[in-house]
Amino acid sequence: MEEDRWNAFITQVEAGEPGPGPLSAKKLAVKDLFDTAGIRTTYGSKIYADHVPERTAPVVQRLLDAGATLVGKTHLPEFAWCVIGVNPWYGTCHNPVKPGKTTGGSSSGSAAALAAGLCDLALGSDTGGSIRIPSACCETVGLKSQWGLIPLEGTFPLCPTLDVAGPMARTVMDTALMWSVLTERPAPEPRLAGLTVGLVRRAPWVGGEYVPEATDLAEQWVGDLERLGAKVVEADVPEPEANTWPMFEHEALEAHRETFPSRAEDYGFTIRPKLERALDVKPEEVEAAYSAVRAWRRYEPPVDLYVAPCVTGELPPEDVDERDVRFPFSASVRWVNLVGWAGLAIGNLQLIAPRDETVLAAGLAWERG
Protein backbone atom coordinates (compact mmCIF):
# COMPACT_ATOMS: atom_id res chain seq x y z
CA MET A 1 0.00 0.00 0.00
CA GLU A 2 1.58 3.26 -1.14
CA GLU A 3 1.94 6.24 1.16
CA ASP A 4 -0.75 8.84 0.57
CA ARG A 5 0.90 12.19 1.36
CA TRP A 6 -1.87 14.10 -0.42
CA ASN A 7 -4.88 12.84 1.54
CA ALA A 8 -6.23 11.59 -1.78
CA PHE A 9 -7.92 8.60 -0.12
CA ILE A 10 -10.45 8.26 2.66
CA THR A 11 -9.89 4.51 2.72
CA GLN A 12 -7.00 2.60 1.15
CA VAL A 13 -7.08 -1.14 0.49
CA GLU A 14 -4.47 -3.69 -0.50
CA ALA A 15 -4.63 -4.32 -4.23
CA GLY A 16 -5.54 -7.89 -5.09
CA GLU A 17 -4.22 -10.00 -7.91
CA PRO A 18 -5.20 -8.55 -11.30
CA GLY A 19 -7.81 -10.47 -13.21
CA PRO A 20 -8.07 -10.91 -16.97
CA GLY A 21 -9.62 -8.27 -19.16
CA PRO A 22 -8.90 -4.97 -20.89
CA LEU A 23 -8.09 -3.26 -17.57
CA SER A 24 -5.90 -6.05 -16.21
CA ALA A 25 -3.16 -4.82 -13.86
CA LYS A 26 -4.58 -1.28 -13.83
CA LYS A 27 -4.82 0.17 -10.33
CA LEU A 28 -8.27 1.69 -9.74
CA ALA A 29 -9.29 4.41 -7.29
CA VAL A 30 -13.02 4.96 -6.74
CA LYS A 31 -14.62 8.16 -5.46
CA ASP A 32 -16.12 7.44 -2.05
CA LEU A 33 -19.58 8.22 -3.40
CA PHE A 34 -19.91 4.78 -5.05
CA ASP A 35 -20.83 1.73 -2.98
CA THR A 36 -18.27 -1.04 -2.59
CA ALA A 37 -19.30 -4.27 -0.87
CA GLY A 38 -17.39 -4.89 2.35
CA ILE A 39 -15.44 -1.63 2.09
CA ARG A 40 -16.32 1.50 4.03
CA THR A 41 -18.18 4.03 1.89
CA THR A 42 -18.67 7.37 3.64
CA TYR A 43 -20.02 9.67 0.90
CA GLY A 44 -17.62 12.14 2.50
CA SER A 45 -19.98 12.53 5.46
CA LYS A 46 -20.02 12.12 9.22
CA ILE A 47 -23.41 10.45 9.06
CA TYR A 48 -22.08 7.54 6.99
CA ALA A 49 -18.60 7.38 8.56
CA ASP A 50 -19.04 3.69 9.45
CA HIS A 51 -21.21 2.69 6.49
CA VAL A 52 -20.16 -0.59 4.85
CA PRO A 53 -22.40 -1.49 1.87
CA GLU A 54 -23.45 -5.04 1.09
CA ARG A 55 -23.39 -4.52 -2.67
CA THR A 56 -21.01 -2.92 -5.14
CA ALA A 57 -22.30 -0.26 -7.50
CA PRO A 58 -22.65 -1.71 -11.03
CA VAL A 59 -20.38 0.97 -12.46
CA VAL A 60 -17.58 -0.15 -10.11
CA GLN A 61 -18.27 -3.82 -10.70
CA ARG A 62 -17.85 -3.39 -14.45
CA LEU A 63 -14.34 -2.03 -13.91
CA LEU A 64 -13.41 -4.84 -11.52
CA ASP A 65 -14.81 -7.46 -13.88
CA ALA A 66 -12.59 -5.98 -16.61
CA GLY A 67 -9.49 -6.75 -14.54
CA ALA A 68 -8.88 -3.53 -12.62
CA THR A 69 -7.67 -3.84 -9.02
CA LEU A 70 -9.15 -1.54 -6.39
CA VAL A 71 -6.61 0.40 -4.30
CA GLY A 72 -8.97 2.66 -2.38
CA LYS A 73 -11.89 5.03 -1.99
CA THR A 74 -10.96 8.61 -2.76
CA HIS A 75 -11.47 11.90 -0.97
CA LEU A 76 -14.45 14.07 -1.79
CA PRO A 77 -16.14 17.06 -0.17
CA GLU A 78 -19.14 16.20 1.98
CA PHE A 79 -21.80 14.52 -0.18
CA ALA A 80 -19.96 15.79 -3.30
CA TRP A 81 -21.41 19.31 -3.07
CA CYS A 82 -18.38 21.60 -3.23
CA VAL A 83 -16.04 22.78 -5.99
CA ILE A 84 -12.85 22.57 -3.89
CA GLY A 85 -11.20 19.65 -2.13
CA VAL A 86 -12.10 20.40 1.49
CA ASN A 87 -13.99 18.22 3.95
CA PRO A 88 -14.75 19.02 7.60
CA TRP A 89 -14.57 15.34 8.58
CA TYR A 90 -11.77 13.97 6.39
CA GLY A 91 -9.50 16.96 5.90
CA THR A 92 -8.23 18.74 2.81
CA CYS A 93 -7.03 16.97 -0.31
CA HIS A 94 -3.66 18.30 -1.52
CA ASN A 95 -2.65 19.00 -5.11
CA PRO A 96 0.40 16.91 -6.14
CA VAL A 97 1.29 19.10 -9.14
CA LYS A 98 0.49 22.54 -7.74
CA PRO A 99 1.28 22.45 -4.03
CA GLY A 100 -0.85 24.77 -1.94
CA LYS A 101 -3.46 25.20 -4.68
CA THR A 102 -6.86 23.53 -4.62
CA THR A 103 -7.40 20.15 -6.22
CA GLY A 104 -10.88 21.27 -7.18
CA GLY A 105 -13.93 19.26 -6.28
CA SER A 106 -15.78 17.20 -5.86
CA SER A 107 -13.78 14.32 -7.41
CA SER A 108 -10.79 15.77 -5.62
CA GLY A 109 -9.10 12.59 -4.44
CA SER A 110 -9.61 10.82 -7.77
CA ALA A 111 -7.66 13.51 -9.63
CA ALA A 112 -5.03 13.86 -6.90
CA ALA A 113 -4.43 10.08 -6.75
CA LEU A 114 -3.90 10.02 -10.50
CA ALA A 115 -1.56 13.02 -10.45
CA ALA A 116 0.43 11.47 -7.61
CA GLY A 117 0.76 8.11 -9.40
CA LEU A 118 -1.19 6.27 -6.71
CA CYS A 119 -3.51 4.75 -9.32
CA ASP A 120 -3.80 4.30 -13.09
CA LEU A 121 -7.55 4.84 -13.38
CA ALA A 122 -10.08 6.64 -11.23
CA LEU A 123 -13.85 6.81 -11.11
CA GLY A 124 -15.50 10.16 -10.47
CA SER A 125 -18.90 11.80 -10.60
CA ASP A 126 -19.90 15.14 -12.08
CA THR A 127 -23.00 17.20 -11.25
CA GLY A 128 -21.69 20.67 -12.00
CA GLY A 129 -18.05 20.17 -12.98
CA SER A 130 -16.90 17.68 -10.34
CA ILE A 131 -14.79 15.60 -12.73
CA ARG A 132 -13.56 18.37 -15.00
CA ILE A 133 -12.57 20.95 -12.36
CA PRO A 134 -10.23 18.53 -10.50
CA SER A 135 -8.85 17.26 -13.83
CA ALA A 136 -7.97 20.84 -14.75
CA CYS A 137 -6.47 21.62 -11.34
CA CYS A 138 -4.38 18.43 -11.19
CA GLU A 139 -3.51 18.33 -14.92
CA THR A 140 -5.16 14.97 -15.56
CA VAL A 141 -7.92 13.76 -17.90
CA GLY A 142 -11.59 13.26 -17.06
CA LEU A 143 -14.83 12.69 -18.92
CA LYS A 144 -18.18 14.04 -17.81
CA SER A 145 -20.30 11.53 -19.71
CA GLN A 146 -23.51 12.46 -21.49
CA TRP A 147 -26.43 12.28 -19.09
CA GLY A 148 -28.06 8.87 -18.59
CA LEU A 149 -25.50 6.67 -20.33
CA ILE A 150 -23.54 5.24 -17.39
CA PRO A 151 -25.62 3.61 -14.61
CA LEU A 152 -25.72 5.37 -11.23
CA GLU A 153 -27.30 2.65 -9.09
CA GLY A 154 -25.36 2.37 -5.84
CA THR A 155 -24.24 6.02 -5.93
CA PHE A 156 -25.38 8.64 -3.43
CA PRO A 157 -27.32 11.22 -5.47
CA LEU A 158 -26.83 14.98 -5.44
CA CYS A 159 -29.09 16.15 -8.27
CA PRO A 160 -30.26 13.17 -10.36
CA THR A 161 -31.23 15.33 -13.36
CA LEU A 162 -27.58 16.38 -13.60
CA ASP A 163 -25.57 13.56 -11.94
CA VAL A 164 -23.25 11.44 -14.08
CA ALA A 165 -20.38 9.06 -13.44
CA GLY A 166 -17.26 9.24 -15.54
CA PRO A 167 -13.77 7.85 -16.14
CA MET A 168 -10.58 9.65 -15.11
CA ALA A 169 -6.99 8.85 -16.03
CA ARG A 170 -3.67 10.44 -16.99
CA THR A 171 -4.25 10.01 -20.72
CA VAL A 172 -7.19 10.25 -23.09
CA MET A 173 -6.37 6.73 -24.29
CA ASP A 174 -6.82 5.23 -20.82
CA THR A 175 -9.93 7.35 -20.26
CA ALA A 176 -11.43 6.02 -23.50
CA LEU A 177 -10.51 2.44 -22.57
CA MET A 178 -12.19 2.83 -19.21
CA TRP A 179 -15.22 4.49 -20.84
CA SER A 180 -15.57 1.50 -23.18
CA VAL A 181 -15.81 -0.82 -20.18
CA LEU A 182 -18.25 1.45 -18.34
CA THR A 183 -20.60 1.88 -21.31
CA GLU A 184 -20.07 -1.50 -23.00
CA ARG A 185 -19.43 0.37 -26.26
CA PRO A 186 -16.34 0.36 -28.48
CA ALA A 187 -14.01 3.30 -28.04
CA PRO A 188 -14.15 5.68 -31.03
CA GLU A 189 -11.36 6.20 -33.52
CA PRO A 190 -9.42 9.49 -33.21
CA ARG A 191 -11.04 12.28 -35.21
CA LEU A 192 -10.76 16.04 -35.43
CA ALA A 193 -10.17 16.55 -39.13
CA GLY A 194 -13.23 17.93 -40.89
CA LEU A 195 -15.07 18.88 -37.70
CA THR A 196 -16.35 22.36 -36.92
CA VAL A 197 -15.38 23.49 -33.44
CA GLY A 198 -17.16 26.37 -31.72
CA LEU A 199 -14.93 28.64 -29.63
CA VAL A 200 -16.81 29.59 -26.45
CA ARG A 201 -15.63 32.86 -24.93
CA ARG A 202 -18.44 33.24 -22.42
CA ALA A 203 -20.23 30.43 -20.68
CA PRO A 204 -24.02 30.78 -20.65
CA TRP A 205 -25.75 32.08 -17.55
CA VAL A 206 -27.53 29.28 -15.68
CA GLY A 207 -29.44 31.34 -13.14
CA GLY A 208 -28.86 33.31 -10.00
CA GLU A 209 -26.98 36.54 -9.53
CA TYR A 210 -23.66 35.45 -11.02
CA VAL A 211 -23.20 36.22 -14.72
CA PRO A 212 -20.15 34.53 -16.33
CA GLU A 213 -17.49 36.82 -17.71
CA ALA A 214 -15.95 36.50 -21.17
CA THR A 215 -12.48 34.98 -21.48
CA ASP A 216 -10.02 34.48 -24.34
CA LEU A 217 -8.40 31.44 -22.72
CA ALA A 218 -9.65 29.02 -25.38
CA GLU A 219 -7.72 30.88 -28.08
CA GLN A 220 -4.54 29.11 -26.97
CA TRP A 221 -5.84 25.86 -28.45
CA VAL A 222 -7.11 27.17 -31.79
CA GLY A 223 -3.83 26.78 -33.67
CA ASP A 224 -3.44 23.12 -32.77
CA LEU A 225 -7.09 22.35 -33.46
CA GLU A 226 -6.73 23.84 -36.94
CA ARG A 227 -3.43 22.06 -37.50
CA LEU A 228 -5.24 18.80 -36.77
CA GLY A 229 -7.83 19.57 -39.44
CA ALA A 230 -10.66 21.18 -37.49
CA LYS A 231 -12.39 24.40 -38.49
CA VAL A 232 -12.72 26.75 -35.53
CA VAL A 233 -15.50 29.35 -35.48
CA GLU A 234 -16.84 31.79 -32.92
CA ALA A 235 -19.81 30.33 -31.07
CA ASP A 236 -22.37 31.34 -28.49
CA VAL A 237 -24.47 28.95 -26.44
CA PRO A 238 -28.08 30.00 -25.75
CA GLU A 239 -29.15 30.56 -22.16
CA PRO A 240 -32.04 28.89 -20.29
CA GLU A 241 -35.38 30.63 -20.06
CA ALA A 242 -35.36 30.69 -16.25
CA ASN A 243 -33.11 30.30 -13.22
CA THR A 244 -32.09 26.61 -13.05
CA TRP A 245 -30.78 26.63 -9.47
CA PRO A 246 -34.17 25.86 -7.84
CA MET A 247 -34.18 22.46 -9.60
CA PHE A 248 -30.70 21.67 -8.25
CA GLU A 249 -31.64 22.76 -4.73
CA HIS A 250 -34.95 20.87 -4.81
CA GLU A 251 -33.35 17.60 -5.87
CA ALA A 252 -30.48 17.95 -3.41
CA LEU A 253 -32.94 18.50 -0.57
CA GLU A 254 -34.92 15.43 -1.65
CA ALA A 255 -31.72 13.35 -1.66
CA HIS A 256 -31.14 14.29 1.99
CA ARG A 257 -34.74 14.13 3.16
CA GLU A 258 -34.06 11.23 5.57
CA THR A 259 -31.32 13.08 7.46
CA PHE A 260 -31.92 16.79 6.84
CA PRO A 261 -33.01 18.85 8.66
CA SER A 262 -33.52 16.18 11.34
CA ARG A 263 -29.73 15.69 11.69
CA ALA A 264 -28.61 19.12 10.57
CA GLU A 265 -25.97 19.25 13.30
CA ASP A 266 -24.18 16.34 11.59
CA TYR A 267 -23.69 18.34 8.40
CA GLY A 268 -20.56 20.42 7.91
CA PHE A 269 -19.81 23.99 6.86
CA THR A 270 -19.79 23.46 3.09
CA ILE A 271 -23.16 21.78 2.63
CA ARG A 272 -25.39 22.70 5.57
CA PRO A 273 -25.94 26.35 4.47
CA LYS A 274 -26.82 25.17 0.96
CA LEU A 275 -29.45 22.75 2.23
CA GLU A 276 -30.84 25.41 4.57
CA ARG A 277 -31.29 27.74 1.59
CA ALA A 278 -32.96 24.94 -0.33
CA LEU A 279 -35.70 24.80 2.30
CA ASP A 280 -36.90 28.21 1.10
CA VAL A 281 -37.19 27.39 -2.60
CA LYS A 282 -40.73 27.96 -3.91
CA PRO A 283 -42.58 25.27 -5.91
CA GLU A 284 -43.24 27.64 -8.81
CA GLU A 285 -39.49 28.36 -9.04
CA VAL A 286 -38.78 24.65 -9.17
CA GLU A 287 -41.31 24.07 -11.95
CA ALA A 288 -39.93 26.99 -13.97
CA ALA A 289 -36.43 25.55 -13.61
CA TYR A 290 -37.50 22.09 -14.80
CA SER A 291 -39.29 23.63 -17.78
CA ALA A 292 -36.20 25.64 -18.69
CA VAL A 293 -33.91 22.61 -18.48
CA ARG A 294 -36.25 20.48 -20.61
CA ALA A 295 -36.32 23.19 -23.28
CA TRP A 296 -32.55 23.68 -23.14
CA ARG A 297 -31.96 19.97 -23.66
CA ARG A 298 -33.82 20.14 -26.96
CA TYR A 299 -31.24 22.56 -28.36
CA GLU A 300 -29.28 21.20 -31.34
CA PRO A 301 -25.86 22.84 -31.71
CA PRO A 302 -24.77 24.27 -35.09
CA VAL A 303 -21.21 22.94 -34.62
CA ASP A 304 -19.79 19.44 -34.09
CA LEU A 305 -18.26 20.30 -30.75
CA TYR A 306 -17.17 23.23 -28.61
CA VAL A 307 -13.88 24.19 -27.00
CA ALA A 308 -13.68 26.12 -23.73
CA PRO A 309 -11.54 26.18 -20.61
CA CYS A 310 -12.62 24.17 -17.59
CA VAL A 311 -11.63 26.90 -15.16
CA THR A 312 -10.67 30.54 -15.64
CA GLY A 313 -8.34 32.70 -13.61
CA GLU A 314 -5.67 31.66 -11.13
CA LEU A 315 -6.24 28.52 -9.08
CA PRO A 316 -7.29 29.48 -5.54
CA PRO A 317 -5.40 28.20 -2.50
CA GLU A 318 -6.52 24.88 -1.07
CA ASP A 319 -7.95 26.53 2.04
CA VAL A 320 -10.01 29.15 0.18
CA ASP A 321 -13.55 29.82 1.39
CA GLU A 322 -15.72 28.08 -1.21
CA ARG A 323 -18.28 30.86 -1.01
CA ASP A 324 -15.72 33.19 -2.58
CA VAL A 325 -15.04 31.02 -5.64
CA ARG A 326 -17.95 28.63 -6.13
CA PHE A 327 -19.76 30.36 -8.99
CA PRO A 328 -16.90 31.77 -11.07
CA PHE A 329 -14.84 28.60 -10.58
CA SER A 330 -17.57 26.36 -12.00
CA ALA A 331 -19.13 28.68 -14.60
CA SER A 332 -17.36 27.17 -17.62
CA VAL A 333 -18.39 23.62 -16.78
CA ARG A 334 -21.76 23.76 -15.00
CA TRP A 335 -23.88 24.53 -18.08
CA VAL A 336 -22.73 21.28 -19.72
CA ASN A 337 -24.52 19.26 -17.02
CA LEU A 338 -27.70 21.25 -17.53
CA VAL A 339 -27.86 20.55 -21.28
CA GLY A 340 -26.91 16.93 -20.59
CA TRP A 341 -23.92 16.86 -22.95
CA ALA A 342 -20.48 15.29 -22.67
CA GLY A 343 -17.46 17.27 -21.52
CA LEU A 344 -13.89 15.98 -21.76
CA ALA A 345 -11.19 17.70 -19.71
CA ILE A 346 -7.60 17.34 -20.87
CA GLY A 347 -5.99 19.44 -18.19
CA ASN A 348 -7.77 22.77 -18.55
CA LEU A 349 -8.83 22.11 -22.16
CA GLN A 350 -12.53 21.21 -22.33
CA LEU A 351 -14.12 19.61 -25.38
CA ILE A 352 -17.93 19.63 -25.32
CA ALA A 353 -20.51 17.86 -27.51
CA PRO A 354 -23.87 16.10 -27.12
CA ARG A 355 -22.27 12.62 -27.34
CA ASP A 356 -19.35 10.99 -25.55
CA GLU A 357 -17.96 9.48 -28.75
CA THR A 358 -17.51 12.92 -30.32
CA VAL A 359 -15.41 14.39 -27.51
CA LEU A 360 -13.43 11.18 -26.99
CA ALA A 361 -12.61 10.94 -30.71
CA ALA A 362 -11.50 14.57 -30.70
CA GLY A 363 -9.50 14.06 -27.52
CA LEU A 364 -7.75 11.01 -28.91
CA ALA A 365 -6.83 12.97 -32.04
CA TRP A 366 -5.59 15.85 -29.88
CA GLU A 367 -3.46 13.51 -27.77
CA ARG A 368 -2.01 11.78 -30.83
CA GLY A 369 -1.10 15.20 -32.25
Does the active-site annotation cover 130? yes
Closest by alpha carbon to 91, among 143, 150, 52, 42? 42
Q: What is the DSSP letter of 36?
A: B
Judged by DSSP in three states, 319 sits in: coil
Cβ(77)–Cβ(86) under 8 Å?
Answer: yes
174: Cβ contacts below 8 Å, ≥ 6 apart: 26, 120, 121, 141
Instruction: Tell me the CA distances in angstroms from 264 to 90, 98, 106, 348, one per residue in order.
Output: 18, 35, 21, 36
Q: What is the DSSP letter of 218?
A: G
- Distance between alpha carbon 36 and the CA centroid of its chain, in Å? 20
Closest by alpha carbon to 4, among 142, 171, 117? 117
Does the active-site annotation cover 332? no
Closest by alpha carbon to 305, among 231, 224, 201? 231
Instruction: Tell me the CA distances in angstroms from 71 to 106, 118, 136, one per residue in order.
Output: 19, 8, 23
State the Cα–Cα distance between residues 36 and 33, nearest whole angstrom.
Answer: 9
Which of these is catalytic: 31, 73, 101, 274?
Answer: 31
Residue 125: phi and psi, rounded to 5, are -130, 155
Which of these is catalytic: 45, 106, 107, 110?
Answer: 106
Bin 294: left if φ > 0, else alpha if -120 < ψ < 50, else beta: alpha
Instruction: Tell me the CA distances in angstroms from 262 to 50, 121, 214, 259, 267, one per residue in order.
Output: 19, 38, 42, 5, 10
Which of these is catalytic: 107, 108, 130, 135?
Answer: 130
Enzyme catalytic residues: 31, 106, 130
